[in-house]
Copies of this chain bind each other. A is one copy, B any other.
Amino acid sequence: MEITTALLAEYIAQRKIQILRSLFGEYNIVNLAECAQALGIEDILFLLKILPKDISGALFSYFSIEKQQEVIEIFNSAQIKEILDNLFTDDITEMLSDLPANLQRKVLQAVSAETRKEINEILSYPENEAGSLMSTDFVEIKNTDTIKKAIERIKQQGKIAETVTQCYVIDDKRRLVGALALQDIMFENQKEKVADHMDSDVISVLNHTDQEEVSHTMQRYDLLVVPVVNDENCLIGIITVDDIMDVIQAEVTEDIHKMAAIRPLDDSYLKVPVMHMAMSRVPWLLFLMVSATLTGMILTRYETVLATVPALAAFVPTIMGTAGNAGQQSAVMVIRGISVDGMKFSDLFSVVSKESKISFYIAGILFLVSLCRSVFLPPNAALNIAVVVSAAIATAILFANVLGGILPLIALKLKVDPAAMAAPLITTIVDGVTLVVYFFLCTAFLGL
């Protein structure tokens, strides 16, 4: 049977509580939440009230932030508490950070003092730090426990934990000393000590570690969960890989936006308001337009050259465009190399050497094609003009490739974001240099 919004609405209208409960017990909650979300707010509140508390918690957690907000506005403290008691702390904090201040307060007042303290701690971290992503719902075992005791703890805490794939072992000062999984101990002698069976080489991250580094760590060690510790190595939370996948997507979108000279936007294209979107694009457009004054000045300076041989002007966009594209290509390769393969400033020499060699091939091929194109396609230039144009393209490619390759590394060294800096700077510099090279070649070899 396919679940639809209409079907849910019908059962709700007929108050078929038993059928609804069994539907929500049986079908996948993500799909159900998508259908339920399209219901009227009255129907949604009805559902949240009649469903078992763990299911209504899960249902709520898959609603959009707008729906969550509507629900919280209407529900009273006791009702909010019931729902939040069934959410993981990272889901609560994620929701809270998107809520307006008055509703944040309403939510925080509804939860227990202990949860409030945990939530406030997580909310105190800057958005990009490990602490802000962590959940406090994990299974915690003491190193002095017997295996019997440990299994009891897993049984107790496992119901509210995000995962029991990894349980963490702490000493009497709450310092992280090991990790173990349920299957590692459940078939062992119950009287033995946890300390003898745990994996004592646990990879962890610090609460202030940048989220991008957390994602690199999890990928490097193929982790599904990573524990978060403070400066004293005390265990304070865990981060699960599903949250890290969202981080990777968000970071990548940010990088792509920056490379396209857009100030990064948080939300999806169709959701961002028009004005907000326009303002995220205007700054770099303005910068690039105004900085093009430079190319205008160079062109004005060589007005007489262009007036003497008008065909030379026809090639300006081709030369500048080709150089700009070449620079963008090498910049993107290196920017991606920095974020995926961890390229560093110390790779500068390898990059210069590699880009020089690459340019040799690219410039050679483009020189030959440009020569043919300039002579045989409009404006059917004379051979000497075609040679100058093609030589300008070849030289510009060499320059643009090397510059495009090293600028991101220099940005990294200067602790500026490589993705944000590279595109605009490369365009501006490459455009200027390309024109100067072109006119130098024109005056030198065409006797202008």
Contacts and interface: CB of A to CB of B under 8 A. Distances in A.
Nearest to A181: B164
Chain copies in the assembly?
2
Given A286-B366, A340-B253, A224 B224 contact: yes
Nearest to A393: B289
Contacts of A257: 332-333, 336
B158 A183 contact: yes
Interface stretch (A101-109, A118-126, A295-303): A295-303
Interface string A349-366: 011001001100110011
A425 interface: no
Nearest to A424: B325
Given A201-B26, A221-B30, A332-B262, A361 B275 contact: yes
Given A260-B331, A278-B361, A303-B314, 18 more contacts: A30-B220, A30-B222, A163-B165, A164-B183, A165-B165, A219-B246, A219-B249, A224-B224, A224-B242, A253-B340, A269-B354, A270-B347, A279-B361, A284-B325, A289-B369, A289-B393, A299-B313, A307-B307
Contacts of A261: 325, 328-329
B306 A310 contact: yes
A293 B187 CA distance: 74
B165 A300 contact: no
A7 interface: no
A252 interface: yes
A200 interface: yes
Given A224-B241, A282-B366, A285-B366, A358 B277 contact: yes
Contacts of A326: 281, 285
A423 B300 CA distance: 30
Given A182-B186, A242-B241, A365-B282, A341 B269 contact: yes
B311 A310 contact: no
A274 B354 contact: yes
Nearest to A435: B317
A385 interface: no
Interface stretch (A12-20, A36-44, A373-381): A373-381
Interface in A204-238: 218-224
A55 to B, nearest CB: 13
A427 interface: yes
Closest 8 CB pairs of A and B: A269-B337, A260-B332, A278-B361, A292-B318, A268-B341, A296-B314, A299-B314, A300-B379
Q: Which of A261, A299, A310, A314 has the most CB of B within 10 A?
A: A314
A370 interface: yes
A377 B350 CA distance: 41
Contact of A256 (B181, B256, B350): B256
Interface residues of A, number: 113
Contacts of A222: 30, 242
A256 B253 contact: no
B270 A322 contact: no
B340 A282 contact: no
A318 B289 contact: yes
Contacts of A248: 245, 248-249
Contact of A292 (B255, B299, B321): B321
Contact of A219 (B245, B275, B313): B245
A433 interface: no
Contacts of A282: 361-362, 365-366
A255 B278 CA distance: 24
A281 B317 contact: no
A11 interface: no
A292 B323 CA distance: 12
A391 interface: no
Nearest to A381: B296
Contacts of A241: 224, 241-242, 245
A335 to B, nearest CB: 8
7 contacts: A30-B220, A256-B259, A270-B350, A275-B361, A281-B329, A282-B365, A289-B318
A320 interface: yes
Contacts of A297: 314, 378-379
A343 interface: yes
